[in-house]
Each structure stands twice: as structure tokens, then as C-alpha cells.
Amino acid sequence: MELFSVAWLGKEPCDVEPNDYKDFVESASITIPKDMSNFWDGWDIYDTVRSYSREGQRTWTLDYTLIGYLINGFYFCGDGKGGVNTESCPDDGECGFAVGAVDAFWAEASKHFSISAEGLSRVFFNSSRPGGPFQTEESFFSEFELCNLTPEKISLMDIYVLTDVRQSPQHDCDSVSINNLKSILDSKSIPYNCWDNPRDVFHQLCIDYDDHEDCTFLNDDGAVH
């Protein structure tokens, strides 16, 4: 915990950069099981990816690794006078992209998570995200994860473009935004598949809308249940 606190304790809230967490993140490094890493981009897909991952039973998100699990849900910053700020801390993005006690932590942790990923990997997007599912500006996925994937270690990237029940898709695997991601993966020689609402996740989304027409399934006998 010493390495964690030296990164931010006592500093001005915004005077923390990703590199300040380097030693802490490296000291708590764990092996991500092969074929298990699961990335996501944009808060509007966060609940879905968390349910899908089943806390490491199906896939691993960064929040399921040791440091992610410890820090997730906490907001903290220094007071600029050697201690903890007990008054208030900046909101997400308030200090600038990936700067400040909390955001800088996630940036460094994201980078390390990506460096550790191996085998099959997944990334989840919301097809209706304003501005497009995949974004390169001020995106933790784009700026700390995608660029830090090791091509020799990643055998395949499964891109999931997801649309919630009751919503209509605004983008799909052929949209400009996702094609942009594909060309970045091409340039890194990382193979990929892209799936529009694949059944495994869609069935999970149906849990909350089981009487919606898109969520009724045909049994082998042809009866709708």
C-alpha cells in the first residue's frame, strides 16, 4: 500500500500522472489467464461486460484483477499538504484526460492489463454510443489498451458490437467507427472477428426483457416460449 499512496498522497489532486503508479501497478501484477481478457469502451457498456464476465468465471475485466478489484469504486486524492483530501476530489476527466489521482491510476492499470493479455481477447462496445462505438479521442481503451496489446501474444480479438433489447442499432461491424478499429488491428497484425449482437450476450440482455418479442425463443418443437 506504500507504493499506492506515494503516487498521490499529499499531492495536489490533479498533480498525478499515470507513470506515478508504475511501481504500484507492477508490484501487484498478476497473470491474466490465457483467452480471458475482456476490454470495453464507454461507460454505457460497463454493466453488460461486468455481467458477462461473471467476476472472472467467464472472462476477466481489469476490475477483476488484484489492483482493479481493490481500487474499483473508490475516489480519492491528496490535499496538496501531505495528506488525504477529505473535502472533495475531481470528477472523472476534470483534471484532463488520464490525469489526477483516480484517472491516472486507471490509465496505468489499463496499460498493464493490456500488456498482460494473451491468446483470445474480447472488446465490448455499445452500438448506440453517441459519437460511435469505438472512439480514439480521450478513450482509455484506445490510448492505453489497444496501443499496448502485444501482437505476438494476442491470437484473436473478438469485437462485440452490442445493442440492448428495445434499442435499435446505430452502428454495426461495418460502420466507419468499427472499421477504424479494424484497421488499427490490421496495422498491428492482430487478427479479429466482429460480431453484431452475438447470441451469448444477447441472451444475457434478455434476462430483463423476457417478454419482449426479440427475446422469445423457438423450442425444437417449434413452440414459442
Q: Which residues bind ligand CV1 (CB under 6 A)?
A: 39-43, 62-63, 72, 92-93, 102-103, 106, 110, 113, 139-141, 145
1's CB contacts (< 8 A; 6+ apart) are none
Q: Which residue has the CB atom at the shortest distance from ligand CV1?
A: 140
Least Cβ distance, residue 162 to ligand CV1 (angstroms): 14
Least Cβ distance, residue 8 to ligand CV1 (angstroms): 13
Cα Rg of the chain, angstroms: 19
Least Cβ distance, residue 129 to ligand CV1 (angstroms): 9
Considering only CA atoms, which of 133, 138, 142, 180 is closest in space to residue 160? 133
Nearer to ligand CV1, 39 or 202 (CB): 39
What is the DSSP secondary structure assignment for residue 149, as one 8-state letter?
-
Nearer to ligand CV1, 42 or 78 (CB): 42
Nearer to ligand CV1, 9 or 123 (CB): 123
Nearer to ligand CV1, 122 or 205 (CB): 122
Residue 163 cell numbers, joined: 445493442
Cell numbers 499538504 correspond to 81
Least Cβ distance, residue 72 to ligand CV1 (angstroms): 6
Helices marked H in 56-100 — which ranges? 66-71
Least Cβ distance, residue 128 to ligand CV1 (angstroms): 15
Task: For residue 52, give the H/E element and its range.
Answer: helix 46-53
- Is the CB of residue 122 less than 8 Å from the CB of residue 160? yes
Nearer to ligand CV1, 121 or 218 (CB): 121
